[in-house]
Amino acid sequence: MSSKPREWKLEPASFVVVANRLPVDRVENPDGGAEWRPSPGGLVTAFEPIMHRRHGAWVGWQGAAASQELEPFEHAGLALVPVPLSSSEVEEYYEGFSNATLWPLYHDAIAPPQFRREWWDTYVIVNQRFADRVAEVAAEGAVVWIQDYHLQLVPQMLRRQRPDVRIGFFLHIPFPPTELYVQLPWRQQILEGLLGADIVGFQLPGGARNFVRLVRDRLGLETLRDRIRTRDGRDVLARAYPISIDAKGLHELAAGDQAAERAAEIRNDLGDPRVLFLGVDRLDYTKGIPERIQAFGELLAEGRIDPDHVVFLQLAIPSRQRVEQYRQLRDDIDRLVGRINGEVQRIGRPPIIYLHVSYPRVEIAAFYRAADVMVVTPLRDGMNLVAKEYVACRQRDDGALVLSEFTGAARELRQAYLVNPHDIDGLKDRMVEAMNDSSRNKAQRMRAMRRQVLENDIDKWASMFLDDLERLNGTPAAREAAG
């Protein structure tokens, strides 16, 4: 669904979310006008309900290169404040430093990170632009919540301009161990940038411990467990806040007639298989897509899975299509799927269906509802909300979740069929176990996981973070934002 932008008078906001992207994409029309469409992605999904309830302002890039600054506007009830990026800034700040330097480094260097000085220089410039924009938007004493690795310098930059505001920062991806992080030529600047926040939040306790250790060893700051004393005498809290989803809303969406009918259509279109395996991922080299496809292909070759009764459906949502590593990954997966399907000597539906396309939320809910076994096997992931979404969408105590040990979600969804995705033989065994396990065992596992997801939803995550921010630096604005 798209809509014309409606200008919004820029008024001071007591609660501000700052993210690399706005929750909408700007689409240019031939007549020079513009329309806005909701953006895909876990961050948007996670924050949209919070923003609606707190009536905050969202500061972010509009998703396309722009030569001029756009005015703030409202869309679907959200106050949005665009930050413009030029084509060269998109290439150097976003595709370069954010996604070719920080992303691989923070994900255990699964792909080699690239360190280019011109990318860093642009990262600094863009982070300063974000900080300037937030300084204009934030009311006196406002709560500002900055999101993710693209904007790690903004906390310090904003504090210099607006010492009155309360600043939280949350990292949605892993924070690496010292041995990896110290490769970064600008390691000190990033640490100091993050310390501009009052709270630095991480997905896992290990990430928080890595950060505390680094600021103690590299910056010489005094630390006590999860507290850091800065040189200007402030206390900064570094703590884990595992992110979650709007579990109730997603469960209700999957329970609706549209999702139910579509789930039945999906299974019918696939020939009503006895077992439907499903993978849903953004196309990324950290997600372990080739490994799980290889495992399934070997199960077919070994006769442990019957292609007449079992289908693997892999949805790969397009991502960073201008980055060479992602284009290469897509080609590699295309060839792997084609080879495996070609080796299964049968006429009719192939055993692996690979779709490289985005889907609306209700369609994804239908896929979750249709699947018998969900395969979530990243090589490294800060949390992974797909695993939680699958659990939330189940309408009965059935279904099975094969989950990588190297996701943050594995700490919470302990009843999943946990696996090391690098161990192809182990992955094969877990997939077969999940497929053939008794209904009783599956029901016990799913009930426990559903309870975990429903009791620890996105509201609880936000409340935990904002309540800590209030206690650390209590203000009326912080109390209002925390609800």
d(CA 189, CA 193): 6
Helices marked H in 195-286: 205-219, 247-255, 257-269
User: Of 168, 129, 127, 122, which is closest to residue 151 (Cα–Cα)?
Assistant: 127
Strands 352-355 and 310-317: parallel
What are the percentages of helix, strand and coil residues in the chain, rounded to 5? 45, 20, 35
- Give yes or no for a contact between 104 and 113, defined as CB atoms under 8 angstroms apart: yes
Q: Considering Cα of 178, then 182, then 183, then 184, what sign does the dihedral take?
A: positive
Reply yes or no on whether 381 is catalytic: yes
Contact in structure between 444 and 386 (CB atoms under 8 Å): no
Amino acid at 269: D
Q: What is the DSSP letter of 151?
A: G
Does residue 467 carry a catalytic annotation? no
For residue 391, report the phi and psi dihedrals to the nearest 5 degrees: -60, -45
C-alpha closest to that of 304 among 427, 474, 122: 427
Distance in angstroms (rounded) separating the CA atoms of residues 7 and 9: 7
Task: Say which of 75, 107, 150, 172 is annotated catalytic.
Answer: 172
Contact between 307 and 351 (Cβ < 8 Å) = yes
Q: Return the number of other C-beta atoms located less than 10 Å from residue 34's C-beta.
A: 16
In whole angstroms, how far apart are CA 100 and each of 89, 96, 116, 285? 14, 5, 10, 12
67 Cβ neighbours under 8 A, 6+ residues apart: 84, 86
Catalytic residue among 148, 372, 381, 468: 381
Residues annotated as catalytic (active site), given as ranges: 172, 381
